[in-house]
Chains A and B, each alone.
Chain A
């Protein structure tokens, strides 16, 4: 069952809850994003763009901003979606330069990397990871409570993924 944070009203644990698009968004902000779905992928596109796409009479692979995709029935966000959420969410952890570099290589964050955080701190909470410039570099899941001496965040997706995709 999803765990609701008393202060923010956001849902943090995915135990028993299917991780779909709306559930994912609800972990970070109380906003509604209208998406367009192509296959298993989600996109943010305005109405005029959608109308234009109907006149192309061809195989559309992407329209507007990609928000993520369903992988094995579980929603996986895009970096672009994390960037949108980071503009409206309080569920953030700010990391130092070394933490940023490590995270961009897909490594987990340790206590020494964390400058500060906003929002929830409990194990199992999802957090947007921000660098010193408040730029989103990915997201992770708290694996050891942030207020504790062994605070730790598991890397779930980092912006270094762009490079890995180029090489694959």
Chain B
């Protein structure tokens, strides 16, 4: 299969193999332990295997029926969360004293992941119709330290600073998570998304504490929404990119002939055919 997008990927030195993503869960250690959960689920015909690069992520290797039909799901013992999607919160790595901002929160996968390790998480969601999913997941997982706000990250003006911030920005997505992706997308859409991503970042970085850390991530493979945003953050927002311990390739420093800042390579891009995850991009930054 070849199209405008796959030709772009070839220019970036990659390819666009299509495959089914493995089913991955994140164990909610607030409510249970992996051993307790898997002992119970083994009796019901389910088996799991640890994902080596995730703290609490496990791959389903045998399933008798849908995971969401399990009582253990209803009890909030686990969250169905794709492997790459578990990385941003893991890379942000908050500690028990941290007040964390999740700038684009619904449906709450990363919010609930961050909440396990943080003091408090402030979760912003701009779309009113996406709030119930966020609130439901917080309740199901028994999370007690989240404040959910129906607010657009671009206009959020708190009178406090945050120790850690996650900007898992709204993006164009990727062809592995969405089978209709190639048909739906356009390069123009990437550019429109990039403008929103810049608006979010430019406001949100002003709420980061002096010693704070910010993780920017998307589930897009498009340089316009990833490396080019990081390059802009380095030059226009005066952010410093830091090294991260994460699977994936180094960020691209010359996508489509554009010359980007050398530190952009400290970010990580997850090509699905290499990582066997959905497409993803992650960068960590601090104030200069």
Given the complex, which residues of B lie within 8 Å of A58, measured CB to CB? 124, 149-151, 156-158
A44 touches B148 (CB 8 A): no
B74 touches A162 (CB 8 A): yes
Q: How far is the CA of A100 from the CA of B71 in the complex (A)?
A: 9
Q: List the one stretch of B137-145, B217-225, B269-277 in contact with chain A.
A: B137-145
Q: List the one stretch of A61-69, A110-118, A139-147 in contact with chain B.
A: A61-69
Quick one: which of B71, B75, B147 contacts A62, CB cutoff 8 A?
Answer: B147
Quick one: which of A56, A78, A80, A160 contacts B158, CB cutoff 8 A?
Answer: A56
Query: Which chain A residue shows the least CB distance to B74?
Result: A159
Q: Does B122 contact A (CB under 8 A)?
A: yes
A58: min CB distance to chain B, Å: 4
Given the complex, which residues of B lie within 8 Å of A34, measured CB to CB? none
Q: Does A163 contact B (CB under 8 A)?
A: yes
A163 touches B149 (CB 8 A): no
Q: Does B135 contact A (CB under 8 A)?
A: yes
| A159-B133 contact, Cβ under 8 Å, with A52-B120, A56-B122, A65-B144 | no
A 45-88 contacts with B by CB, 8 A: 48-49, 52-53, 55-66, 78-80, 83
A163 touches B146 (CB 8 A): no
Query: Which chain A residue shows the least CB distance to B159?
Result: A55
A66 touches B147 (CB 8 A): no
B136 touches A64 (CB 8 A): no
Give the size category of B's interface with A: 20 to 34
**Total residues of chain A contacting the partner, CB 8 A:** 32
| A44, A48, A62, A163: residue with the most chain B Cβ atoms closer than 10 Å | A62
Q: How far is the CA of A61 from the CA of B126 in the complex (A)?
A: 11
Quick one: which of A55, A62, A135, A165 contacts B148, CB cutoff 8 A?
Answer: A62
Q: Does B234 contact A (CB under 8 A)?
A: no
Q: Does B206 contact A (CB under 8 A)?
A: no
Given the complex, which residues of A lie within 8 Å of B151, measured CB to CB? 58-59
Query: Which chain B residue shows the least CB distance to A41?
Result: B135
Q: How far is the CA of A26 from the CA of B135 in the complex (A)?
A: 26
Given the complex, which residues of B lie within 8 Å of A80, measured CB to CB? 139, 142
Given the complex, which residues of B lie within 8 Å of A131, measured CB to CB? 71
Q: Does A104 contact B (CB under 8 A)?
A: yes
A96: min CB distance to chain B, Å: 13
Q: How far is the CA of A59 from the CA of B127 in the complex (A)?
A: 12
Q: How far is the CA of A60 from the CA of B122 in the complex (A)?
A: 10
Q: Does A15 contact B (CB under 8 A)?
A: no
Q: How far is the CA of A48 from the CA of B74 in the complex (A)?
A: 30
Q: Does B131 contact A (CB under 8 A)?
A: yes
A162 touches B136 (CB 8 A): yes
Given the complex, which residues of A lie within 8 Å of B149, measured CB to CB? 56, 58-61
B160 touches A83 (CB 8 A): no
Q: How far is the CA of A78 from the CA of B120 in the complex (A)?
A: 21
Given the complex, which residues of B lie within 8 Å of A56, measured CB to CB? 122, 147, 149, 156, 158, 160
B147: min CB distance to chain A, Å: 5
A61 touches B120 (CB 8 A): no
Closest 6 CB pairs of A and B: A58-B151, A62-B148, A159-B74, A55-B160, A58-B149, A55-B159
19 A-B pairs with CB atoms under 8 Å apart are A52-B120, A55-B158, A55-B159, A56-B122, A57-B157, A58-B124, A61-B148, A62-B147, A63-B148, A64-B144, A65-B142, A66-B135, A66-B139, A78-B139, A79-B140, A80-B139, A135-B71, A165-B132, A166-B133
Q: Which residues of A contact B (CB under 8 A)?
A: 44, 48-49, 52-53, 55-66, 78-80, 83, 100, 104, 131, 135, 137, 159-160, 162-163, 165-166
If A57-B158, A66-B139 are given as contacts, then 5 extra A-B residue pairs at C-beta distance below 8 Å, sorted by A number, are: A53-B147, A62-B138, A78-B139, A131-B71, A165-B136
